[in-house]
């Protein structure tokens, strides 16, 4: 199993498309950073809305590395799953298309081990991708924009988190994002096991993520009540919960607190359940699959 896993990791990092994902994300984050460096005050003015009329503040202080990282992660909501699907969607079907899947299946290893090795290999890719995102969006932003308190904008309030209380939240958020992205990887793996070419699972995964995200975000009671709780995308935004700092009756934030930790834990639980569901289904399908290519 370990050897199989190593081979799968090797295969992923031999493909140019893997590095393409890193290049795309780097370019994308760089463009956001450049945009915020040049026109950040205007963007901030929009985010603050009526606060501009009531309060005085130094926009330069708000526009710091922590805030830029938060803005980047907010904007990457749809894009990272696409990059995950790009690799995980190809992991089985790519080999089916090349004809190497049959060769692999005739080796003295179980089919379950093959699928699990592929899943864990894609986990390495997702982990490294998120690590890279964390490095360029957080540490590079901190170098360029400096450090200060973090302002988190919600629909009807603004929350300020003190400098010393931010970094652990990012660590937890990236940890959560890893679980969320692994759901996408597991879904792509599932679709990959039933397909004979790479394009189908990649496009289908992206399509499902986009569709589910739209339904999750639509404020339509029918969807909110009956469909939303069953969509994995409804739980993927849970990383933000780490930045929803709790406050007392005087609207004073409480250092080190999280407003609703049970909701985050519930989201983690739901996402893990989806991973188990998709991977189990992938193993079951692959075990019974008649490999003809």
Partner 1 sequence: MKTKIIALLSAILLLPVLLAAQDVKQLVEKVKAKLDKVSDYQASGKMKTNVTFLKVPIANITMYYKKPNKMKIKSEKGFSFIPKGAVNINMSNSLSSGKYSVLDAGTDNINGTVVKVVKLLPEDDNADVVLSTLYIDETNLVIRKAKTTTRENGSYELEMSYGKYTEFGLPDKIVFSFNTKDYKLPKGVTFDFDDGTAKKTEDKAKNKKGRAEISISSYTVNKGVDDTVFQ
Q: Which residues bind partner 1 (CB under 8 A)?
A: 47, 49-51, 53-58, 61-62, 74, 77, 148-149, 153-160, 162-163, 217, 219, 234, 237-241, 244-245, 247, 250-253, 255, 259-260, 263-264, 267
Smallest separation (angstroms) from partner 1 to the CB of 73: 10
Cα separation, 107 vs 136, in Å, equals 41
Toward partner 1, which CB reaches closer, 20 or 211?
211
Toward partner 1, which CB reaches closer, 112 or 153?
153
Smallest separation (angstroms) from partner 1 to the CB of 9: 32
Q: Determine how many CB atoms are found less than 10 A away from the CB of residue 252.
A: 8
Cα separation, 152 vs 12, in Å, equals 36
> Would strands 158-161 and 150-153 be described as parallel, antiparallel, or unpaired?
antiparallel
Toward partner 1, which CB reaches closer, 128 or 160?
160
Cα separation, 280 vs 269, in Å, equals 16
Toward partner 1, which CB reaches closer, 109 or 153?
153
Cα separation, 205 vs 169, in Å, equals 29
Smallest separation (angstroms) from partner 1 to the CB of 144: 18
H or E stretch at 160: strand 158-161
Smallest separation (angstroms) from partner 1 to the CB of 280: 27
């Amino acid at each position: 199993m370990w050897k199989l896993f190593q081979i799968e990791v090797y295969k992923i990092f031999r493909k140019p498309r893997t590095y393409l994902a890193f290049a795309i994300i780097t370019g994308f984050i760089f463009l956001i950073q450049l945009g915020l460096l040049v026109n950040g005050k205007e963007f901030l003015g929009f985010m603050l809305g009526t606060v501009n009329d009531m309060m005085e503040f130094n926009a330069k202080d708000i526009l710091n590395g922590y805030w830029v990282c938060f803005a980047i992660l907010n904007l990457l909501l749809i894009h990272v799953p696409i990059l995950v699907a790009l690799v995980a969607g190809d992991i089985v079907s790519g080999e089916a298309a090349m004809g190497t899947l049959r060769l692999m299946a005739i080796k003295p290893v179980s089919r379950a081990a093959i699928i699990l090795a592929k899943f864990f290999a894609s986990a390495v890719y997702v982990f490294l991708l998120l690590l890279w995102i964390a490095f360029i969006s957080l540490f590079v932003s901190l170098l360029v924009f400096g450090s200060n308190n973090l302002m988190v904008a919600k629909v009807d309030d603004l929350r300020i988190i003190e400098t010393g209380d931010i970094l652990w939240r990012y660590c937890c958020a990236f940890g959560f994002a890893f679980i969320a992205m692994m759901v996408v990887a597991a879904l792509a793996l599932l679709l990959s096991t039933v397909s004979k070419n790479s394009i189908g699972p990649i496009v289908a995964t992206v399509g499902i993520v986009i569709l589910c995200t739209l339904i999750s975000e639509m404020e339509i009671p029918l969807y909110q009540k009956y469909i939303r709780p069953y969509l994995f995308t409804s739980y993927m935004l849970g990383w933000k919960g780490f930045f929803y700092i709790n406050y007392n009756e005087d609207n004073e934030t409480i250092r080190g607190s999280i407003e609703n930790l049970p909701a985050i834990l519930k989201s983690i639980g739901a996402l893990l359940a989806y991973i188990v569901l998709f991977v189990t289904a992938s193993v079951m399908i692959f075990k019974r699959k008649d490999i003809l290519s």
